[in-house]
Amino acid sequence: MRSLSILLRAISRLHLQAPPRRIIELGAGDGTLLLRLLRALRTSWPGGDVILLDQHDLVSEATRTDLARLGWTVQALRADAIEWARSARGERFDLCLTTLFLHHFRPPDLTELLAAVAARADAFVACEPRRNAFSRLASQLLILLGANEITRHDAATSVDAGFAARELSALWPQGADAWRIEEYFAYPFTHCLAARRLIVPHQ
């Protein structure tokens, strides 16, 4: 899936003015993708705070230790994303990340979640399944790699729940703040949204 390289490319398209010091990942899982990302960026991102939001605390002590060695203080936040969207409105983040997570939601929940991100973060990257014929075909061809029926079904379901065109941009809140938003296809199976607030509010 090229998850790390696609995520790095999406972040580069943000053209951040300064390294983020406070990061939240939605649907973080075990935190290992974020760890790989921060390892790749360790020379340019000196550290700060990371919040790993998920319904389950799956972050191992080894991952916490490795993040700490890179200069990041770790908080595993066990919470439902929609409940998070409806609470803690005073929080601010330099960057919000999510991968293979938004496609689990549909409006109005997805709209509410994106509104919360726009209210609390100054930059946002989402990498999701791309909904197109090629991705659907690839999900069925997983049988050639030895994938079982359940895996193939889950892959096809994810593709059908994915995004195309400017579907995420259309759900982004239309408010007073100006955002630079890119929504694009990342070969071979990923749909990306990269958004950056153009005027960052004073902290």
| Confidence (pLDDT) at 110 | 97
Q: Which residue has the tokens 């919000």?
A: 96
* Structure tokens that stand for 46 in this block: 């000196």
Q: pLDDT: is 88 or 37 the higher one?
A: 37
Residues composing the chain: 203
Span 112-130, mean pLDDT?
96
Looking at domain 3-130+163-196, its CATH class is: alpha beta
Where do the structural domains in the chain lie, given as residue ranges?
3-130+163-196
> What is residue 123's three-state secondary structure?
strand
Beta strands in 38-121 (DSSP E): 48-54, 72-78, 95-99
Cα distance between residue 20 and residue 96, in whole Å: 10
How large is the angle between the packed helices 61-69 and 32-40, nearest 10 degrees?
20
pLDDT tens, position by position, 141-180: 545 456 565 555 455 577 677 999 999 999 999 875 799 9
> What is residue 10's three-state secondary structure?
helix
Report which DSSP code applies to 40.
H
Q: Are 71 and 137 in contact (CB under 8 A)?
A: no
pLDDT-based confidence at residue 2 (cuts at 50, 70, 90) = confident
Cα distance between residue 84 and residue 77, in whole Å: 10
Cα distance between residue 25 and residue 3, in whole Å: 14
Q: What is the pTM of this model?
A: 0.89
Span 11-33, mean pLDDT?
97
